[in-house]
Amino acid sequence: MISVKLIDEKLIKVNIELNNKKEVIKEFSNLLSINDRISNKELFEKDVIERESELSTSMGYGIAIPHTQSESVSETSLVFLKLSEAIDWDNDKVQMVLGIAVPYSKREEKHLKILSALARKLMNEEFREGLLNVTLPSEAMQYLSFLNLEIE
């Protein structure tokens, strides 16, 4: 079986113009759909929105980490969106979005591992600033590739 990486350049968009959380979630699911990482876009969007309604995924520092464990997810994946302008995300302003999608069947093994690895890195100001200043998906990939190694 071929191992699919958690993140690759096809799951990264830099300086994308999105105006609100709903558009971000649509782009998150669209990227996963066109890269064959989810089987049902509508179900995935519904699951992300439902998770968001429980508790905001904004973590401060201009970053949101929307995530869900869904029956529609076929491959554990991370999407990175760097917005051209910060948007309102509940009571915060967000310019970087790291979306996590985990198959419902694997929720226990991967979900918390990915979130904690990301949270540790995002606490580092130099890392956050570097990621915020990327201009190409390949540059973002250099910052985020550590996840492919940590989340085996």
| Closest C-alpha to 147, from 48, 74, 76 | 76
Beta bridge partners of 54: none
pLDDT of 150 higher than 80: no
Residue boundaries of the structural domains of the chain: 9-150
State yes or no: is 67 an active-site residue. Answer: yes
Q: Which of 21, 67, 82, 111 is catalytic?
A: 67
Second-level CATH architecture of 9-150: 3-Layer(aba) Sandwich (3.40)
pLDDT of 3 higher than 70: no
Q: How confident is the model at residue 121 (pLDDT cuts 50, 70, 90)?
A: very high
Taking a C-beta distance cutoff of 8 angstroms, is the pair 43, 70 a contact? Answer: yes
pLDDT of 113 higher than 90: no
Taking a C-beta distance cutoff of 8 angstroms, is the pair 25, 53 a contact? Answer: no
pLDDT of residue 116: 87
Q: What phi and psi values does residue 150 have, to the nearest 5 degrees?
A: -75, -30
pTM of the model: 0.93
